[in-house]
Homo-oligomer: A and B are copies of this chain.
Amino acid sequence: MKNALIVMIGIASSTVFLSSAIGGQAPATTDLSSPRFSANDELMRPDNYREWIYLSSGLGMSYGTTTSPANANPPFDNVFVTPAAYRSFLATGKWPDKTMFVLELRGSASEGSINKQGHFQGQMLGMEVEVKDESRFPGKWAFYEFGRTAASAKPTPTTASCYSCHAQNGAVDNTFVQFYPTLADIAKQKGTFKSAP
């Protein structure tokens, strides 16, 4: 699924990753407010992420340069974070333990219905998750790739570039708050925003 996803991303030579801790519309006291792991340490797919807090979207974002021809319809990425983590961030400018982010990838199209220009979103291409769990992960954060339908996922190996890239370039903790306009403003107010690379 990882390879299929990378092919679908097209020109994005460096996968745009996400970051974060689980929550939900439901009260923080339910099991929807924390990451859920299987007996063999796989993360269970957070099915309700579309009801979490939306942070931002990008179109065809890429952190690397490429000589590939431009993709006329590159993928959109939509980033969501668990509601409990969002509320904590508004108050402190930091991510609490158990924070969970989802990066959802969707196809794009330009002409459809009455639309004539620009891009709108289509079907889901894949979904990735970043979880903060200070007692479970030596580096505090871990990434998971669920593709379109996987019910659970093993953590991405810590040798993957997403770990070093997020650690080196995240504006707040291990996360790319520099690309989430409403949270970047909060982090700057709270003094937790690291200078952009």
Q: Which residues of A contact B (CB under 8 A)?
A: 11-12, 25, 50-51, 53-54, 56-66, 74, 76, 78, 80, 83, 86, 106, 108, 112-124, 165, 169, 171, 176, 178-179, 181-182, 196-197
Contact = CB atoms under 8 A, between A and B. Distances in A.
A10 to B, nearest CB: 10
Contact of A116 (B58, B63, B113, B196): B63
B118 A62 contact: yes
A181 B80 CA distance: 16
Contact of A119 (B25, B59, B83): B59
A66 B36 CA distance: 50
Contacts of A178: 112-113
Contact of A61 (B11, B12, B61, B115): B115
A194 to B, nearest CB: 11
Given A62-B118, A63-B114, A121-B181, 5 more contacts: A51-B86, A54-B80, A106-B181, A113-B197, A124-B181
Contacts of A115: 58, 61-63, 179
B181 A60 contact: no
B58 A117 contact: no
Contact of A118 (B59, B112, B123): B59
Contact of A58 (B66, B114, B118): B118
